[in-house]
Amino acid sequence: MKRVLILGGGFGGVYTALTLEKLLGDTKDVEIALVNRENYIVFQPMLPEVISGSIGLVDTITPIRRLCPRTNLYTRAVETIDLERRCITATAGFGSRMHSLTFDHLVIALGNVTSFTGQPGLMEHALPFKYLGDALAIRNRIIHVLEEADIEPDPEIRRALLTFVVAGGGFSGVEAVAEMNDFVRAAAKSFRHLDRREIRVVLLHSGSLILPELPSSLAQFAQRLLAKRGVELRSDTRLAGATADAALLEGGERITTRTLVSTVPAAPNPLVATLPVKKEHGRIVVDGHLEVPGQPGVWALGDCAWVIDAKTGEACPPTAQHATRQAAYLARNLVATLRGGAREAFSFKALGKMGSLGHRSAVADIMGVKISGFLAWWLWRTIYLMKLPGLDRKIRVATDWTLDLILPLDIVQLKTGPSMAVRREHFEPGMTICREGDRGDWLYVIVNGEVEVSRSVPGRGDVALNRLGPGECFGEIAMVREGPRNATVKSLSSVDVVAVDREAFGTLFSHLPALKGFVEALIQERLDQAPPSPH
């Protein structure tokens, strides 16, 4: 019995399994196994509509077990790949048992990952837009800021709450900003105190024209349409960093916002980086048959592979269309290797490109024909509905779209699970990290940078008390006493902190003697030093 092991449950991995199932039929001598962190495949093109709620949360994802009934699915994350011993390890399930799987053939379809390295504050404060959970997080953030803006008296804070920034003018960014813009402006009607003129939706794009993959006439159509709907386009602008309440642009400009979505950063999967094989732009180089040279039985495809098209001689772009076609070639070549037979070299001409602009409009370039507006939108919906895997999903999405025409917009904020107990935050110089008199919900540990602690003294204004640096912490007194902050802390330089919430603090600090003693000594010392507090 031979095992074909597929890593990754995106289009590349799942369609490889699907084609293998068809080609191998009911034969008992080959096992098809697939390892993926989730038990479903996400249909990316419809994710933007999850933000606006016009497609139900789970309707853009299809269970892999349903699509590939003869494949053994391991719902685990891959931890290590050992090409020499021909085995992989996967994370543990309940009870922490490590899982190891051997293979005869390995298909690497791990895609790429989101990475914010090198841009300060993005990891902490920007919302990525790649997975289903991201779409849900963006939706919840939008509803949350609208809720807050509705009851916020301070115009400065309200401005940050009602500004929405999306970075990246490719398909993903444009579709996200279009849906967000429609959703925010429609949802705001349900909030009694919101002035809709205060809403700002901004798209940042590093080039001069958005949607660089499309002919410029279509891109210009899209720009005009978005502008008409109220999206501010900032071309030739790059995002340089972020804080909790601002997007920082290259050149020093600062846009205050509580909702920053970044669609830009796709980096190679770190697992791929560990493999001792030749790479190009971080992607695994494969031959025309999608096998890794010098590694018989090891294959790669999709976004993590560097595939040269046999006809054009060019590298394939990382799109779902290509991954799906590559899967069919790969599966056929793999079966030819197992059973004997001729292999085929991969070649595929993309059928077209489409981008939805929301509100019944889209742009499409199909076999060289340029279409825009309602017709393109109709095509977009028809083609993607056909391509959505699984008949039941097709029916559900068609129903969602129908209901969406007649029912009002949904504004429930689905909070699931507890919020993070320990999180990182980034501050630029001169920002207030915590304010005297506010509620003390977090303890902060400085990772790098310097802060100043001050307190307002009647008749003397704000008096600086202390400076703190890396490894020191603040905010502990309000946590222990459950009272308001007794001091204000501001960043003097660019500052990174780790924030620990009340519950994690209570749990950790009351049971670990080293920490308990440390915090108690610290509090005593600070109280001895400090002038009497008005609180």
Which residues ranging from 164 to 203 are in contact with a copy of itself (CB under 8 A)?
190-193
Among positions 81-110, residues that touch a copy of itself (CB under 8 A) are 91-99
Quote the distance between the C-alpha of residue 400 and its chain's center.
24
534 makes contact with a copy of itself (CB under 8 A): no
Enter the tokens of residue 429: 């110089």
Task: Compare residues 9 and 12 and give the one whose CB is closer to a copy of itself.
Answer: 9
Task: Compare residues 148 and 344 and give the one whose CB is closer to a copy of itself.
Answer: 148
Among positions 107-166, residues that touch a copy of itself (CB under 8 A) are 132-133, 136-137, 143-145, 147-148, 150-152, 157, 161
In whole angstroms, how close is the CB of 304 to a copy of itself at the nearest point? Answer: 22
**If 0-12 CB within 10 Å is exposed, 13-18 middle and 19+ buried, where does residue 99 land?**
middle
494 makes contact with a copy of itself (CB under 8 A): no
Q: Which stretch binds a copy of itself (CB under 8 A): 114-122, 200-208, 280-288, 445-453?
A: 445-453
38 makes contact with a copy of itself (CB under 8 A): yes
When binding is defined by CB under 8 A, the residue of 3, 23, 65, 454 that contacts a copy of itself is: 65
Among positions 496-525, residues that touch a copy of itself (CB under 8 A) are 498, 500, 503-504, 507-508, 511-515, 518
Q: How far apart, in whole angstroms, are the C-alpha atoms of residue 109 and residue 431?
A: 43
Task: Compare residues 82 and 148 and give the one whose CB is closer to a copy of itself.
Answer: 148
Among positions 277-336, residues that touch a copy of itself (CB under 8 A) are none
When binding is defined by CB under 8 A, the residue of 102, 208, 312, 399 that contacts a copy of itself is: 399
Q: Is the dihedral of CA 200, 205, 210, 214 positive or negative?
A: negative
In whole angstroms, how close is the CB of 52 to a copy of itself at the nearest point? Answer: 13
Among positions 348-377, residues that touch a copy of itself (CB under 8 A) are none
Q: How far apart, in whole angstroms, are the C-alpha atoms of residue 65 and residue 72?
A: 8
413 makes contact with a copy of itself (CB under 8 A): yes
Strand, coil or helix: what is 90? strand
- For residue 192, what is the DSSP state? T
Enter the tokens of residue 14: 């799942």
In whole angstroms, how close is the CB of 341 to a copy of itself at the nearest point? Answer: 28
In the chain, count H helices and then E strands: 15, 34
Least Cα distance to 348 among 371, 321, 374, 388 occurs for 321
Task: Compare residues 351 and 521 and give the one whose CB is closer to a copy of itself.
Answer: 521
- Residue 242 identity: A
Strand, coil or helix: what is 462? strand
Decide if 93 contacts 467 (C-beta within 8 A): no
Q: Which stretch binds a copy of itself (CB under 8 A): 50-58, 203-211, 262-270, 350-358?
A: 50-58
Among positions 454-483, residues that touch a copy of itself (CB under 8 A) are 470-471, 473
In whole angstroms, how close is the CB of 108 to a copy of itself at the nearest point? Answer: 21
* Residues with Cβ within 8 Å of residue 286, at least 6 apart in sequence: 292, 293, 299, 300, 301, 305, 306, 307
When binding is defined by CB under 8 A, the residue of 39, 321, 494, 533 that contacts a copy of itself is: 39
Task: Compare residues 216 and 448 and give the one whose CB is closer to a copy of itself.
Answer: 448
In whole angstroms, how close is the CB of 518 to a copy of itself at the nearest point? Answer: 4
Task: Compare residues 204 and 397 and give the one whose CB is closer to a copy of itself.
Answer: 397
Task: Compare residues 409 and 457 and give the one whose CB is closer to a copy of itself.
Answer: 409
Quote the distance between the C-alpha of residue 229 and its chain's center.
25
Q: How far apart, in whole angstroms, are the C-alpha atoms of residue 433 and residue 17?
A: 51
**If 0-12 CB within 10 Å is exposed, 13-18 middle and 19+ buried, where does residue 193 land?**
exposed
How many residues bind a copy of itself (CB under 8 A)? The answer is 97
77 makes contact with a copy of itself (CB under 8 A): no
In whole angstroms, how close is the CB of 348 to a copy of itself at the nearest point? Answer: 30
Task: Compare residues 169 and 449 and give the one whose CB is closer to a copy of itself.
Answer: 449
- Could you tell me where the beta strands, DSSP code E, fall in 195-244? 200-204, 231-234, 239-243
Q: For Cα atoms 126, 127, 131, give the angle at the middle one, nearest 5 degrees.
A: 150
In whole angstroms, how close is the CB of 154 to a copy of itself at the nearest point? Answer: 8
Q: How far apart are the first and last CA of the chain?
A: 74
447 makes contact with a copy of itself (CB under 8 A): yes
Q: How far apart, in whole angstroms, are the C-alpha atoms of residue 145 and residue 37?
A: 31
In whole angstroms, how close is the CB of 133 to a copy of itself at the nearest point? Answer: 5
Decide if 268 contacts 304 (C-beta within 8 A): yes
31 makes contact with a copy of itself (CB under 8 A): no
Q: Which stretch binds a copy of itself (CB under 8 A): 68-76, 178-186, 268-276, 314-322?
A: 68-76
Q: How far apart, in whole angstroms, are the C-alpha atoms of residue 441 and residue 422?
A: 12
In whole angstroms, how close is the CB of 64 to a copy of itself at the nearest point? Answer: 9
Note the helical H segments in 257-373: 270-273, 320-339
In whole angstroms, how close is the CB of 153 to a copy of itself at the nearest point? Answer: 10
Among positions 219-278, residues that touch a copy of itself (CB under 8 A) are 244-245, 258
Enter the tokens of residue 4: 């074909």
Containing 87, the helix (H) or strand (E) segment is strand 87-90
Q: How far apart, in whole angstroms, are the C-alpha atoms of residue 407 and residue 394?
A: 20
Q: Which stretch binds a copy of itself (CB under 8 A): 215-223, 317-325, 401-409, 486-494?
A: 401-409
